[in-house]
Structure 1
Amino acid sequence: MLLKPRILVVEDEPGIADTIRYVLATDGFTPVCCVTAEQALREFAAEPPALALLDVGLPDLNGFELFKRLQALPGGAEVPMLFLTARSDEIDRVVGLELGADDYVAKPFSPRELVARVRGILRRSARPAAAASAAAAVDANAPWHLDEERHQIRFYGRLLELSRYEYGILRVLLRKPGRVYTRAELLERVWDDASDSLDRTVDAHIKTLRAKLKAVAADVEPIRTLRGSGYALAEDLPSLQ
């Protein structure tokens, strides 16, 4: 059974708090409502939520100050936060966003829009975590990691910034290390219309590819040139220690 994302709601107006609690609960979240900053700090410290909704005008502490105190708690910097307030002045929005808040919603607001904002923030915050997890799973000592779904190639753990054709050439070479591909074969496999391209086009892209690979591992020569034949990916590249 999937756990529902826990949302900390810090709002001292009962009517607004009840509305937020209802729309979040019906949309698959677990809202935890607090009416004071002190209560919010206790709840957050006990279990950091997936997201925090903070009212700026709290009875015991300014919402901006609460934001800073929550951020200082263990795990606080990783929790996305959204300010909710009756103030619509631009200076308040600027202060909230400059502190590092993920969004700012002024009252009165549409409950459905608020939920959409929450979902959007959670999606955005999940992407860097997923990317970091995927990067951590890549062996930084291994020469190559090809991710065809994302059209990405890593060389010794480092993501290469490749053009469309550089990626296409390297992907072809990676499929069969040691196999020699002629320039004509690379043109046919990588370019949409090989008849409009020249052999020297392949040479130019190989040159830029080598420069990018050299920037990662200066002492390694991963692409071999066979004069009169073409190019091949070197087999049994060393692992970096």
Structure 2
Amino acid sequence: MPQTILIVEDDAEIARFTQQLLEKEGFACLHSRDGLDAVRQSQVHQPSLIILDWMLPGIDGLEACTRIRKLAGTHDPYILMLTAKGEEFDRVIGLSTGADDYLVKPFSPMELVARVRALLRRSLRQEAQSQVYRTLHFTVDLDRHVATQQIHNTTEDLDLTTTEFDLLATFLSHPGRAWSRAYLVEKLWGNDFFGEERVVDTHVARLRKKIELDPSQPQFIKTVVGMGYKFADEG
């Protein structure tokens, strides 16, 4: 069965071009013209990946992304945000809503296909694994795609995006190891990622907000100056 991609784009010409490009690559494609319909189709069809335009009628791509991430159920698609905005500030906003990657218009067909394949390869790598990582306060079950935190003898499920889950799993796989931003980019997005290494900082900041008592003084995810991050859970 081909993996399904939902293309959310109100420009008919761009949507048609993108759909034809991806169908030639063997993907099954759905199309939505506005943000509200994108949320509905995501829930009904459960695509593997969503290509989500930033500027849409009704609700914009940022709000659509936020709502998709809040949908009930275990399915959590990868989201590739398309935007004509080139400033880094705008990209960070897009990623902070739960997008896994971004691509600035105009984009080359080869780059779009490479980004899509890089994201979908992550899901294939996860499916091939059967692993549970545990530390003193955290458990990540890759089979069930469940992450929990144990605090004061109480176990709580963590509400993480796909990228946050992958990031926490990576940290728990080798507690105490220092990870460079470059290695984390390759681990999470693949070696054909075209973006900036600092994209890792955005996802680390979002993960810290969900697992740290005080994200400004993190207990678990430590910054390694001049390199990246390490995970410490020593009690």
Which bin holds the TM-score, normalised by the shorter protein? Answer: 0.5 to 0.7
> Does the Cα contact within 8 Å between 2:95 and 2:102 map onto a contact in 1?
yes
Instruction: Find 2:5's aligned residue among 3, 7, 27.
Output: 7
| Structure 2 residue aligned with 1:116 | 114
Alignment-derived partner of residue 38 in structure 2: 40
Query: Normalising by the residue count of structure 2, what TM-score does the alignment of the two structures yield?
Result: 0.54
> Which of 128, 131, 139 is matched with 1:130 structurally?
128
Aligned-partner Cα distance in 1 for 2:174–2:124: 23
Higher strand proportion (structure 1 or 2): 2
In 1, Cα distance between the equivalents of 2:115 and 2:15? 17
| DSSP 3-state at the match of 1:59 | coil
Distance 1:70 1:82 in 2: 13
Q: 1:105 aligns with which of 91, 103, 106?
A: 103
Give the helix-richer structure, 1 or 2.
Answer: 1
Residue 24 of structure 1: which of 22, 26, 34 is its match?
Answer: 22
Contact 1:52 1:79 in 2 (8 A): yes
Structure 2: state its 5+ residue gaps: 133-140, 144-172, 176-235
Alignment-mate amino acid for residue 39 of structure 1: D
TM-score of the superposition, structure 1-length normalised?
A: 0.53
Q: How big is the shift at 1:137?
A: 11
Equivalent-residue separation in structure 1 for 2:62 and 2:38 (angstroms): 13
Structure 1 residues 57 and 76, CA gap change in structure 2 (3 angstroms): farther
- Which letter does structure 2 place at the counterpart of 1:7? I
CA–CA separation in structure 1 for the residues paired with 2:8 and 2:15: 8
**Residue-by-residue CA offset, 1:109-165 (whole Å, 9 max, x unaligned):** 01121011000011123323432x355799xxxxxxxxxxxxxxxxxxxx899xxxx
* Mapping 1:1-241, distance limit 5 Å: 3-75=1-73, 78-131=76-129, 133=130
Letter in 2 for 1:119: R
Q: Is the 8 A contact 2:8 2:51 kept in 1?
A: yes
Greater displacement, 80-89 / 68-77: 68-77
Q: 1:13 to 1:53 in 2, by over 3 A?
A: same
| Contact 1:23/1:112 (<8 A) preserved | no
Q: What percentage of residue pairs aligned between the two structures are identical?
A: 41
Alignment size in residue pairs? 139
Structure 1, gaps ≥5 residues long: 139-158, 162-241
What secondary structure does 1:44 align onto?
helix
Distance 1:64 1:97, change over 3 A: same
Asked if the contact 1:56/1:83 (under 8 Å) is kept, the reply is yes
Q: CA RMSD in A?
A: 2.6
Return the offset for 1:100: 2.8
Larger Rg: 1
8 Å Cα contact 1:71/1:77 also seen in 2:
no
